[in-house]
Amino acid sequence: MEVTFRYESRSPGRPRKAKTVRTKMRYFFRYELEHLLARSGFTEVRSSAASTAAPSTHFSGETVVLARA
Protein backbone atom coordinates (compact mmCIF):
# COMPACT_ATOMS: atom_id res chain seq x y z
CA MET A 1 0.00 0.00 0.00
CA GLU A 2 1.28 3.48 -0.72
CA VAL A 3 0.42 6.15 1.84
CA THR A 4 0.71 9.93 1.54
CA PHE A 5 1.25 12.02 4.67
CA ARG A 6 0.75 15.79 4.56
CA TYR A 7 2.32 17.93 7.25
CA GLU A 8 1.35 21.57 7.72
CA SER A 9 2.82 24.17 10.01
CA ARG A 10 0.97 27.37 10.77
CA SER A 11 2.27 30.37 12.66
CA PRO A 12 0.51 33.71 13.10
CA GLY A 13 1.81 36.27 10.61
CA ARG A 14 3.75 33.71 8.56
CA PRO A 15 2.82 31.84 5.39
CA ARG A 16 1.58 28.30 5.84
CA LYS A 17 4.21 25.63 5.14
CA ALA A 18 3.22 22.24 3.83
CA LYS A 19 5.22 19.11 3.15
CA THR A 20 4.00 15.90 1.53
CA VAL A 21 5.74 12.57 2.10
CA ARG A 22 4.86 9.38 0.24
CA THR A 23 5.88 6.02 1.61
CA LYS A 24 5.12 2.36 1.06
CA MET A 25 3.53 0.55 3.96
CA ARG A 26 2.90 -3.13 4.58
CA TYR A 27 1.01 -4.90 7.31
CA PHE A 28 2.22 -8.21 8.74
CA PHE A 29 0.26 -10.87 10.55
CA ARG A 30 1.86 -11.87 13.86
CA TYR A 31 2.82 -15.41 12.86
CA GLU A 32 4.01 -14.28 9.43
CA LEU A 33 6.39 -11.77 11.02
CA GLU A 34 7.63 -14.31 13.60
CA HIS A 35 8.27 -16.80 10.79
CA LEU A 36 10.20 -14.26 8.68
CA LEU A 37 12.33 -13.22 11.67
CA ALA A 38 13.11 -16.86 12.55
CA ARG A 39 14.06 -17.62 8.92
CA SER A 40 16.38 -14.58 8.98
CA GLY A 41 18.28 -15.94 11.99
CA PHE A 42 16.65 -14.01 14.81
CA THR A 43 16.14 -15.81 18.11
CA GLU A 44 14.16 -14.99 21.22
CA VAL A 45 11.36 -13.45 19.15
CA ARG A 46 8.76 -11.99 21.54
CA SER A 47 5.71 -9.90 20.75
CA SER A 48 3.33 -7.98 22.98
CA ALA A 49 0.45 -5.58 22.63
CA ALA A 50 1.78 -2.04 22.09
CA SER A 51 -0.14 -0.56 25.03
CA THR A 52 0.67 -3.29 27.59
CA ALA A 53 3.20 -6.02 28.20
CA ALA A 54 0.47 -8.64 27.68
CA PRO A 55 1.00 -11.13 24.84
CA SER A 56 -0.46 -9.92 21.57
CA THR A 57 -3.55 -11.48 20.05
CA HIS A 58 -5.36 -10.81 16.79
CA PHE A 59 -7.45 -8.28 18.76
CA SER A 60 -4.46 -6.30 20.09
CA GLY A 61 -4.11 -3.84 17.23
CA GLU A 62 -0.54 -2.52 17.24
CA THR A 63 2.17 -4.94 18.33
CA VAL A 64 5.72 -4.48 19.60
CA VAL A 65 8.19 -7.16 18.50
CA LEU A 66 11.56 -7.76 20.18
CA ALA A 67 14.02 -10.04 18.40
CA ARG A 68 17.64 -10.86 19.11
CA ALA A 69 20.08 -11.74 16.30
Local structure of 34: helix, strand or coil: helix
Comparing 59 with 17, the larger pLDDT belongs to 17
- pTM for this prediction: 0.52
In 3D, which of 68, 62, 60 has the Cα closest to residue 27? 62
What per-residue string of b and e applies to 45-65 under the rule 16 or more CB within 10 Å gives b?
eebebeeeeeebeeebeebee
Residue 27 binned pLDDT confidence (cut-offs 50, 70, 90) = confident
> Cβ distance 38 to 68 under 8 Å?
no
Residue 64 binned pLDDT confidence (cut-offs 50, 70, 90) = confident
For the chain, give the percent of residues with pLDDT over 90. Answer: 36
